[in-house]
Amino acid sequence: MKVLVVFGTRPEAIKMAPLVQMLRDDNYFDCRVAVTAQHREMLDQVLKLFGIRPHHDLDIMRAGQTLFDITGRALKGLQPVLEAEKPDLVLVHGDTATTFVAALAAYYLQIPVGHVEAGLRTGNRYSPFPEEMNRRLAGALAQWHFAPTAGARDNLLREGVEPKSIFVTGNTVIDALLTTVRPGYRFDLSLLNNLDFNRHRVLLVTTHRRENLGHPMRDIYLALRDILAAHPAVRVIFPVHKNPAVVRVVQEVLGDSNRVHLLEPLDYEPFANLMSRCYLVLTDSGGIQEEAPSLGKPVLVLRDTTERPEAVDAGTVRLVGTGRDAVREEVSRLLADTAYYNSMAEAINPYGDGRACERIIMAIKSAYGQ
Ligand code: UD1
Ligand code: UDP
């Protein structure tokens, strides 16, 4: 069975990499990989780490690209790839522009689509933007839905998706994480090796969401300045997303702060190991919300909505939004109140047990009569 796996950004690559590896190792499959390269450096970091050499690379990324740019270039670029490969199944992941467009391109050629990480919803079409709609549209185009949790399956059932086409598998992000975090891990960066994670309170920060660009991001960074001024033990490690609109504001607000370490995006291996050692995570990322709870790290989500309610319900993730006061107050409380911190630092695994890829492969085989 020929399976074409299509992805384009860092998080898709991290979450599809263990599946590609498993498909490659299984004689039942002829696994091909196409990347749109909606991300470039941040995608290549992951491809290198997991040893994936794509068969097709559309290389579409441009600085400051718009949604129209990505959508147009990816759709045009995927047509000849799909026509040449003629796969039996196209696998897409999650909620990016690449995800939606790859599903659409496959649909135009009447090739079945399997949607990995299907069924997550906020119910708000503009938050996260445009991811909520990308995921819904990919779901509408897909024939098979690999839902990470029972909650995601229920969302799909409520929308009338055929029950037999939904498989609850766990999230492949946990498969990737479990092979990456190690107790004795040494960083390449001496800054990280020399950091005293017991003495300092290390806050790991990432921001990139389109709806947070501009004022919301500025407010988050101002809150970080407030926190640094009030708490001398705090150090901020901030691997900055390569989007120029993010870099500009980060530099402007935090560039002169000597206890803030602004880094290039880290490779997945150091990033995951850093996450396992830090005190607290502040992020608007989707994937990090899934990873940190399984490492026992509290997460403050810098967004107003989340499509990942499981860890919020379990108490390890809190939605704080982007307001300067709210972010400052919540971090201050976690720094001051050990009992409160400990109540959030419970290791839980609502997103998977590291066997999601295995289940997806079994589901595909059973769907295709094996
Ligand atoms: C994209 C996804 C978002 C996902 C995020 C993960 C869409 C619409 N957005 O958002 O769902 O959460 O990736 O990070 O699909 N850039 C580089 N090098 C890179 C990557 C990005 O220079 O390796 C810069 C480029 O200037 C690019 C800009 O970042 O134009 C924005 O990239 P883009 O993919 O459009 O948006 P993200 O915010 O990364
Ligand atoms: N990540 C990484 N290096 C970094 C920051 C994040 O490897 O410097 C990983 C992180 O562990 C997670 C994924 O990238 O697996 C999340 O990507 P991102 O936040 O860009 O996208 P989202 O998950 O929000 O779509």
Residues 115-125: tens digit of each pLDDT: 999 999 999 99
pLDDT score recorded for residue 61: 98
Residue whose CA is closest, atom 24 of ligand 2? 285
Q: 0.95 exceeded by the pTM?
A: yes
15 CA closest ligand 2 atom index: 15
* Candidate of 7, 9, 15, 213 to mutate for ligand 1, largest count of ligand atoms within 8 Å of Cβ: 9
Cα–ligand 1 centroid distance for 30 (angstroms): 30
For ligand 2, the distance from its centroid to the CA atom of residue 10, given in whole angstroms, is 7
Per-residue pLDDT, 139: 98
Measured from the alpha carbon of residue 39, the closest ligand is 1
Q: Which residue is catalytic, options 93, 208, 209, 303?
A: 208
Ligand 1, atom 26, residue with closest C-alpha: 63
What does the H/E/C string look like for the chain? CEEEEEECCHHHHHHHHHHHHHHHCCCCCEEEEEECCCCCHHHHHHHHHHCCCCCEECCCCCCCCCHHHHHHHHHHHHHHHHHHHCCCEEEEECCCHHHHHHHHHHHHCCCCEEEECCCCCCCCCCCCCCHHHHHHHHHHHCCEEEECCHHHHHHHHHCCCCHHHEEECCCHHHHHHHCCCCCCCCCCCHHHHHCCCCCCEEEEEECCCHHHCCHHHHHHHHHHHHHHHHCCCEEEEEECCCCHHHHHHHHHHHCCCCCEEEECCCCHHHHHHHHHHCCEEEECCCHHHHHHHHCCCCEEECCCCCCCHHHHHHCCEEECCCCHHHHHHHHHHHHHCHHHHHHHCCCCCCCCCCCHHHHHHHHHHHHCCC
The amino acid sitting at 242 is: K
What whole-number distance in Å separates Cα of residue 46 and Cα of residue 43? 5
List the one residue out of 245, 242, 271 whose CA is nearest residue 41. Answer: 242
Assess whether 95 carries a catalytic annotation.
Answer: yes
CA-proximal residue: ligand 2, atom 9 (nearest) = 268
* Low-confidence residues of the chain: pLDDT under 50: none
pLDDT (0 to 100) of residue 369? 84
Residue 38 CA to ligand 1 centre (angstroms): 7
Nearest ligand 1 atom to the CA of 38 is 34
255-268 pLDDT, tens digit each: 999 899 999 999 99
Beta bridge partners of 93: 116
Q: Which of the residues 55, 200, 210, 324 is marked catalytic?
A: 210
- Nearest-ligand number for the alpha carbon of 266: 2
Q: What per-residue confidence (pLDDT) applies to 370? A: 80
Closest by Cα among 187, 204, 191, 193 to 279: 204
Per the annotation, the verdict on 131 as an active-site residue is yes
Please give all residues whose beta carbon lies within 6 A of any atom in ligand 1, as ranges. 9-11, 38-42, 61, 63-65, 67, 70, 95-97, 130-131, 208, 210, 242-244
